[in-house]
Amino acid sequence: MLLKKQGSISVSEVRISAEPRTDFGKGGARRTRRAGKVPAVVYGHGEKPLHISLPSLELAAAIRKGGANQLIAIEVTDGTRELVIPKDIQRDPLRDDIVHADLIIVRRGETVTTDIPINFVGEVEKGGLVVHELTALTVEAEATHIPESIEVDLEGLAIGSQRFVREITVPEGIVIVTDADQAVAAVSEPRAEAAAEPEGEEAAAEGEAPAAE
């Protein structure tokens, strides 16, 4: 089965206002978070690292909307403007709040290498169990046209079969870097159920000790 050709839907740009950050260290980071903001660093393209704070709710909403490749237009109150994508988002392990962000500068028309989540669709052969070998693909893409996800259709995939990277069709302008021979998903047979235990009188009879002679 050939996978259907995908459209060129990409993550839309989000604008977020930021403030310069001069209060560093653990104490400074805590104070920034208490103020409802996330400490962040913007870097790349040979620019001096820019330390900023971003509104927590706006940043979290942007990441929920576009995922790890969300394109963000940062507008700092000192007049600095940069187009960035998340490089590393650190979260509180208990509350899942964003506690720090590393953002990398990108330019329009620039090609970047990034990971894009896989969206599995379709039903495999009845009774088959799907094993996801990969959850994302590494690709090269234009920085402002990174898809939110790459769709992989498993419709009708037979038990014992696999879907490989080489079978995936991606939007124009996207180049898959992941090894073409890597399996993306496999369909295995359901695990054999344990033999049923004897029931009723038969079970009781089997459990009886031999009668004394």
Task: Provide the β-strand partners of residue 51.
Answer: 41
Q: Which of 28-42, 127-141, 149-163, 193-207 has the lowest mean pLDDT?
A: 193-207
Res. 8 pLDDT band, cuts 50 70 90: very low
In 3-state terms, what secondary structure has residue 34? helix
CATH (residue range 14-106): 2.40.240.10
CA dihedral sign, ordered 139, 145, 146, 147? negative
CA separation for the pair 148, 119 (Å, rounded): 9
pLDDT at 89 over 90: yes
Tell me which fold the domain 112-188 belongs to: RNA Polymerase Alpha Subunit; Chain A, domain 2 (2.170.120)
Task: Domain ranges for the chain, please list them.
Answer: 14-106, 112-188
What mean pLDDT value characterizes the chain? 86
Strands (E), 68-193: 72-76, 81-91, 98-105, 111-121, 129-132, 136-142, 150-153, 162-164, 175-176, 183-188
Q: What is the pLDDT of residues 138-197, one digit of tens each?
A: 999 999 889 889 999 999 999 999 999 999 999 889 999 999 999 999 999 987 654 445
Token pair recorded at residue 187 = 């369909």
Backbone angles phi, psi at 211, to 5 degrees: -70, 145
**Interval 39-53 mean pLDDT:** 94
What is the pairing mode between strands 14-20 and 175-176? unpaired
**Interval 11-38 mean pLDDT:** 90
Contact in structure between 94 and 120 (CB atoms under 8 Å): no
